[in-house]
Amino acid sequence: GRPCGARDAMATCEWTRAIVRARAARAERRADDARGGFRAQKVRSRARAGAGKRRARANATVRASENDESGAASNASVRESEPYGENAAKNAAYKASMSDAQLELHRASGRDVTYALKISYDGERYNGFQYQGEDVPTIQRELERALAKLTGIDRERLRLGAAGRTDAGVHARGQVAHFYCEKSLGEDLTRCQKAMNGMLPKDIRVDAFWEPHPLFHSRFHASGKTYHYYVDARATSSPFTRKYAHQVGWRPCDVELLRQAAQLFVGTMDYKGFCNTSRDKSNEDRNTTRTIRRFDVFEDAADDGLIRLEVEGDGFLYRQVRNMVGALLVVASGKHDLAYLRTLIETKDRSRAPMGAPARGLFLHEVFYPTEVLARPRSDDTA
């Protein structure tokens, strides 16, 4: 993602304070009656071969395509147990971030009601998600303009944030965002969703609009993401895929070799060699260790004959997915072998790696969250 702005820096401070308070925070209330009867989320199995214990750990993915009666997302996949796997510090920070003390701080700063959006967009016309001023076309700018009309609140008080600040030209099917209001927008949030879509450009859609837990944060509470990357490797590429896939038909692509190469990225390791330095160099000292849970390759006639690469991880570095795909394609084309890719991973030297794949083939597909944060509690404990 892009470096944090001023508003993200404030949220980061709150998150850091939550870590400090972790040991003193109350034990998380686990009984269903104490939780306030969260609106049930649809559950789907995500068992994947070779994923082992990581795949069994708890996460929830926002796949909300409609709103239920409580305003919660109706399609959420659920993973049980610790939401952040073996990351004890983040699990402790999460529990502290959901404490009563944190809720008091939250409301003291004017964030009385929290709302969440699931968004899809065609990123071709935009300079990424993150706001860069009123003269620069971004997804955030368009969302804030529509929300300002809907709520009467300016962007500084809305404090809109997103799970992933996608780069220029990158698309999304499952982007998740949150914002704050000083009063309720009412119970029928489908009307808000329709109003938003009536004001937004046609290449941005709000697929769900709901009220999550009041402490929900789309970025800090995300426990994982899935990106899809599309490749058109046919000798004669389709003119209809040129805007949403990387066309590589000029060089044959060995799909089985592509699958083998993709598995080299799976696991917990340092991906520094596949991370670009941001323009302001603010990410130079960032921890570059991440966990890739799976990296699968599919040939699907339903995708207009495209090759679809699906990568799921606990988080991604700046341009990491596109850089990994670029390295995979030079191996699948026969220009380099698997040993070359292993060397790139081991040396962690970005200057030795090939150019990243273009933005047009990349889609943010899903974002995962702990179940608790996805819906508003029914009890009056947080009222």
| CA distance linking residue 328 with residue 255, whole number of Å | 10
Which region holds residue 71: left if phi is over 0, alpha if psi is between -120 and 50, else beta?
left
Say if CB 249 and CB 232 are below 8 A apart: yes
Detail the DSSP E strand segments found in 125-222. 161-162, 171-181, 204-210
Q: Would you state the structure tokens that stand for residue 112, as one six-digit string? A: 């009385």
CA-nearest of 53, 23, 11, 293 to 162 is 11
| CA distance linking residue 211 with residue 154, whole number of Å | 19
CA-nearest of 2, 121, 79 to 312 is 79
* Locus of tokens 């990387």: 246
254 is catalytic: no
67 secondary structure, DSSP code: B
| CA distance linking residue 307 with residue 309, whole number of Å | 7
Catalytic residue, candidates 122, 167, 207, 314:
167
CA distance readout (Å), 35 to 52, 74, 369? 29, 18, 17
| CA distance linking residue 323 with residue 151, whole number of Å | 40
| CA distance linking residue 143 with residue 197, whole number of Å | 10
CA-nearest of 139, 119, 162, 170 to 322 is 170
Helix (H, G, I), strand (E, B) or coil at 45: coil
Cβ burial, residue 104 (10 Å; 0-12/13-18/19+): exposed
List, by residue number, the catalytic residues: 167
